[in-house]
Structure 1
Amino acid sequence: MVKSVTIADVAAEAGVSTKTVSNVINRTGRMSDETRKRVEEVINRLGYRINKSAQALRSGATKLLGLAVPGFANPFFGLFCDEVSSYARGKGYGVVISTYGNMDEGLDGLIDETYHVNADGWIFLTDRPLKKRGAVLRQSYPVVLTGDFPAFAQADSVSMPDADGAEYATTWLLDHGCRRVAFLGTPPDLFGKAGVRDSAKLEELLVKHEGNMSLRFRGYIRALREKGIDLDWDLVVPCDFMDRESGEEAMTALLDRGIKVDGVFCANDIIAFGALSVLKLRHMSVPDDMQMIGFDNTRDSGHCTPSLTTIDPFAWQYAQMAVDCLLRRIDGDKEKPGLYTTGFRLVERDSTR
């Protein structure tokens, strides 16, 4: 085994004290440029590496952030992880990623494991509502929530412009020749509520429901109302899961019922991919027979056939906001928890005209 290089080895080789080497590593203290460059040259030549464990013991900080996501079946989650890791690295932090989608208790089941990682704080990407007095919001380390479920003013929360983006997409379709725009991806529990077809009851349910899909459905309804169009439930199709198979099933159900549709807004890109595959099998042309818009601007949206017009919720901004919020809390910020929302844009591709 090769003997590791110590800070004393670097000091001896450079002809300086260990304190000077430490100052160079931590970019503190005063010294000449010549001394700093000489020490840096020795560090690189000898291959000295900082002992992170010893540094963490001295400072009480690990320079690690935790990131918990449901899994990677949704490509947006992978994109988000990449953006968080890249941005955190630029801030001098590593990122440890854990998944909780296969746990019966969901995110609550991951909490015990977070204490084995010894991260300075955690970003939780939620896929379901949290309990107001649940374990997730009662931790000794800083927590930031992403995923568009309420944090009950107990933690900073970063969200995407779900309703605004969906409203914009639906309006765009209506302004570009579509007269009957379907929505694929309504949460099944919302769709199945008794009395949901009553407008007052629907309004109440939409206000109470949170999460990406409910908020995007809310934006779809807002766009219709702005155009003076009544909600047609024949154009609304629930999805049990937010995946490609659900998109295939939703589009198949829509077509098999003989519903006339000339535009479709899909709650996310993966549902749109499934819907596109069904239209291709049915020999229907997109965008000539039906225009389609997705949501998330995942990497595959620019490579499917036809390429997918989609709402880009700025995954990079989503990640940066979450990391910045967490670093502020790690640094001791005691301000009241805030709610932050990213911007968005429509990326026009071949699935619209």
Structure 2
Amino acid sequence: MGIKEEMEKLGEEIIGSYDARVERIEQLKKETEEALKGSRDMLKNFQNVHKKMSLEQRENLSKHKENLEGEVKEMLKGFRLSLEKTGSDLRKDLAKGVEKRKAEVGKTLEGTQKMMDEFKNSRMQMSKELKEDLAAGVEKRKAEVGKSLEDTQKMMDAFKVSHSQMSKELKQNLTKSNQEIKNEVSSMLNDFRSVQDKLRADLEKASLSWQQTASILQEKRSGVKKPIPGVLEKKTIKETLPKKAKISEELEVYMKHESLVAIKTFRDFKTGLENRNERKVKTTNSLCRTKKEQKILESLIDDKELSQAIQKDIQRFAQQDLAIKKSQEKTLKIRDKLTKIVNKNKQVLEWRKKLQKGSWEKDHSSPQKTNRVFKHSKFKELKIDF
């Protein structure tokens, strides 16, 4: 089909649809007009009904007001009549109640009078019984006080005996503890001295080895043999120098002419050799030396010997520390024992003061005072000799 034919069909369809639309619009107009008429009729009917309802409600309210006024008036009349009746009844009842109360008050007065008489009689009897009981109680207390004085005297005698025994035991314990402390201190001093002697001997051996090495080096340089020093004489040094400082002083004496003057301990010497071998730096002395001399110098000090010597020194120092700790622990234990003994003595003295002041006397207070006079006890005048 061509475009022309399609366009003609579209035009025909548009014309046909236009007529249908016009008819539909006319129908809608008619329907809307009918709906408007119905709504207007409904509004008119609603207004008429509302007017009728308002008129009826007004009539009903007016009638209700008239009925309420009549009912209220009748209620007020009935209330007044009831008040008058209740007032008359209350007056009659009050008159009757006053007469009854007067009779009851008379009866209560008679009963109270009887009770007062009975109370007086019972009080007299109670006072007699109390006086008798007080007299018996005073006699009992006298006997109890006598017994307590005897018991305290016995206790004081036993206390004297126990205190004398305690003092003897304390003296013996103190003498024993003093002797033990002296023995321990002397043993500790001997141990320290033996350790010091061993350390001095080791240092002397080390100094001899350094002298030998120095003499060998000088012989090889100069070609002149020097006498090797023998065993050094023991010197008693009064001033106790620290160990590292002492070793450094001995090393400086024998290493003045060497190129390794800065080395002051075995460890520094070892580290110096290791650094020199690692860097492969030749000093002025090593340039003049032969290979044999260099090998001899390297073989003089072995790493194993140095490590063994250092470990031995560490073990010795550890042993010294342990000995010091043990001695400190022993002294602390002895101090604890002495403090316990001192505390016991303080408690004993406090008990003695309390007994002398009479703090153990019992206060037996009675409700009524008696006119009898008792003699004062001589409990406070008792003297205790320890």
| Same fold flag (TM > 0.5) | no
For Structure 1 versus Structure 2, the TM-score category normalised by the shorter chain is: under 0.3
TM-score normalised by the chain length of structure 1? 0.17
Larger Rg computed on CA atoms? 2
Higher helix proportion, which one? 2
Higher strand proportion, which one? 1
